[in-house]
Chains A and B, each alone.
Chain A
Amino acid sequence: MLRTLTLKSYLDKVKSKEISPSDVVKEVADAIETINPDLNIFLARNPKAFEQSEERAKLPLSGAPIAVKDNFLTVGMITTASSKVLEHFNPPYESTVTKNLSTAGGVIIGKTNMDAWAHGSSTETSDFGVTKNPRNPEYLPGGSSGGNAAAVAADLCIAAIGSETAGSIRQPSSWCGTVGLKPTYGRASRAGVVAMGSSLDSPGPMGKTVEDCAILFEHIVGHDPYDGTTSSQPVPKLTDALTKGVKGMRIGIVYLDHKDLSGTRTAKAVEAAGKIFEQEGASVDVISLSTQLEKGKILSPDAAIGVYTVVQRSEVSSNLARYDGVRFGEDRSHFGAEAKRRMMLGTFTLSKGYADKYYVKALQVRSLYIQNFAELFEMYDILISASSPGFAQKLGATADNPMFGELEDMLMEPSSISGLPGISLPMHYDAKTNLYLGLSIVAPQWHEERVVAAAQVFEENTKWNSWRNL
């Protein structure tokens, strides 16, 4: 089977002419045809994928079929962000990230399902139906990049490109037993990505292995003249970081003592991860929680939920104002319940008389988190934790729970509001349900190489990655 190839082995085999790109694309396309009706992963398909894979065979990404989240604008493929408002929206221009992907020789195989407007952590809020977790279809894939994680897990692509606002790459990667890398905010361009939380949105790679994410990362990120918030810092060569190891690295384990984690199987898996890093030559400390800034302690993620909720809703209420149906798209009656809920809350938190109490206060607390991380990173090179408090939840879990996503993303939100880079990779496996837990590794801004170096060590020294022993 060709579609189970990792990106790395795909590239090697194309280069050695063992396989041809179009054979792989054809196999993937056929598999989508048979599997998609059950799992509802893809919303749109690229009719030119076959030709493009051959045309781009000699480029660095060798025509590899890549799944792309449906909030990236793609010329020639309807882009909906899983909302009925954009059900028929044919983008007049291409997002920078997918342009970069094509330039490097990647081929978009199709557009994947997500929570509508990326508002959620389940894909259950998609206006086009939920995506099922390929590891166990009774369960959710997580979200909002749930379609991507599912596409990777089901081998319906070689790798994928998603976006994260707070957990949207890492949490579905955790739930689907895949790898997802959230770059530093400002590393990857947001131009041509349907905006959600503009001060948080970070496009990034999702794949089968740490190495695959490192490869894809190098081809899609970088300064963009069309996004004033992208950094002109040089892009690190993450593939070089894969062999760096963790010898001498100072690692802090966080959130073990959080009430939702303490004593759980998840906490034990994180402790076991700490042991692996110790064996490989890192020094590992457990960092305890605090409700205020304290040297050597980490702020409780609980307040980050509030900060994130206020900041993200405020930005959403502003970002969705353009969907008035005048120039493109359907009118406002097509917004789903979750989007309306978020717009109303965000409008409230920005209103006169309330902005100081909510929006401004949230920014102040946000800066406390940033300061807390800055202080911790003087003592530690990376921080590790669980990506999500537990395994994937069952279909229907979001019903009557508007804060579902915030609770599932709780452990990711502090790093997201601080703009930090991070990764989630498989950390534990439950044979009974065939589901995974994810390990989160977070580093200071612009230090993705640390994240990748440590993640690679963990992946090599554990049995959790389902592709390593194929």
Chain B
Amino acid sequence: MSYTPVVGIEIHVELKTKSKMFCGCVNDPFGAQKPNIYTCPVCLGMPGGLPVANKTAIEWTIKVGQALGCEIALFSKFDRKHYFYPDLPKGYQISQYDQPLCVNGLVKTEFGDVRITRVHLEEDTGKLIHQDLNGQKVSLVDFNRSGVPLVEIVTEPDIKSPEMAKAYAKKIRQIIKYLDVSLADMEKGSMRLEANISVQTEEEKQSEQLPAYKVEVKNLNSFRYIERAIAYEVKRQGDVRDGNTLPTQETRGWNESKNQTFAQRSKESAEDYRYFPDPDIPPLLFTQSYIDSIKDTLPLLPDQVIATWVAKGMKESEAQILSEDRANVLLVDELFQKSSDALKIVTQLVNKKIMLSSNVDDIIAQSKVLTQTNSVDERELEKVIDEVLTENAKAVNDYKAGKTQVIGFLLGMVKRKLGNIDTVVLKEALIKKLS
């Protein structure tokens, strides 16, 4: 039977604020030279330590929400989420339960829209390190990451394919990068992906009924892994449903060497985190003008950048490529300011005729050289190549004997006569002559 994947994604992003979420400790868990150097009574959960919320982290979370088209709450609060784990020093995580900062957003992907359920702010946990110490297997805790601000972005189950999941995750990372609020480095773990996956029968689809189970796959630390994990799960769950049984509701991990998910723990009944409003942190009350003032600081987002460029005459495919990385955006905008040939240069950049550089003047200069050399007369070029081949009979013989690397030498000889001309064009012409 064929099934429709039903997937929701949770993305955690560590904010790169200067200090941690609820204390003044340095927020740099990846740059720390030693474990437990960026800690204090608050993020160590010492008696009497009290959280004081980081205003910048709250503003950045609101920014993320705004960039994802969310409604921003004028009243919000932090709640305590209770569970025991050695990397959670207080026995509870400060998170947001029923009144998150942002709700009801929408992200467009090439495969369709993804509704955003909520964007909320919480604190990261410490990190367990399992190692041998004096011949004993021990688990050590590093609290440098404890209390780092963590934004969680949760979608509705709108994602219908592995490709769409990948496109969505890439889009979120791109937007986060545009906002410049996180390193969003998936390898290091400052951006983490989780997928809630189930597969829907045709019948369920017709009656708009969600499957009565879901499987959570955690710790997917690359776009490729989320795509593969979903594909794997869709197949696996489809096989289970073919046998007229429902897949077990559980949490699974991803084994990257086997390209498989594996069962971690059963989640038959919902866990009871005993949420309640954190009495240590006063509720957050915002005015609309404050929310608006944050919105005013948003940069142009990828979709807006593309629209602006296309309006200036750029091809949409080129705009797509160049807007991928936020660093390029400023560069291209500067190019438009400085050069009347900007559209042509953009095409050269996209086609890799000239190299991307952080200096716009350099890009323009490269383009000029390229444009000049391109104008070399074809007959003139042929004539010079013939001369060079005649003068360097040995090299020609070497080439014909299979030593193709001598082509570099021949290229150089031609350039000596003609000046700096387009290597690609020249190489093509040379090879044609030699064969």
Contacts and interface: CB of A to CB of B under 8 A. Distances in A.
A228 interface: yes
A228 B50 contact: yes
B48 A95 contact: yes
Contacts of A195: 47-48, 50, 280
B153 to A, nearest CB: 25
B404 to A, nearest CB: 65
B258 interface: no
Given A199-B279, A318-B274, A81 B84 contact: no
12 contacts: A92-B41, A92-B46, A190-B48, A198-B279, A198-B280, A228-B280, A318-B80, A318-B276, A322-B45, A323-B47, A351-B274, A355-B276
Interface in B128-149: 141
A81 B46 CA distance: 13
A326 B89 CA distance: 9
A43 to B, nearest CB: 15
Contacts of A321: 82, 84, 90-92
Interface of B: 41, 44-53, 80, 82, 84, 86, 89-92, 141, 270, 272, 274-276, 279-282
A93 B84 contact: no
Given A191-B49, A192-B48, 10 more contacts: A73-B48, A89-B47, A93-B46, A195-B280, A225-B52, A318-B91, A322-B89, A326-B86, A327-B44, A350-B82
A350 B276 contact: yes
Contacts of B84: 321, 324
A369 B279 CA distance: 18
B52 A328 contact: no
A288 interface: no
A325 B48 CA distance: 16
A79 B91 contact: no
Contacts of B90: 321-322
A95 B46 CA distance: 12
Contacts of B86: 324, 326
A226 interface: yes
Contacts of B89: 322, 326-327
A199 B41 CA distance: 20
Contact of A318 (B41, B49, B82): B82
Top-5 shortest CB links A-B: A321-B91, A199-B279, A198-B279, A350-B274, A192-B48
A199 B50 CA distance: 12
A194 interface: yes
Nearest to B52: A228
Contact of B47 (A73, A229, A347): A73
A222 to B, nearest CB: 15
Contact of B274 (A197, A199, A323, A347): A347
Contacts of A199: 279
A193 B46 contact: no
Interface in A244-281: none
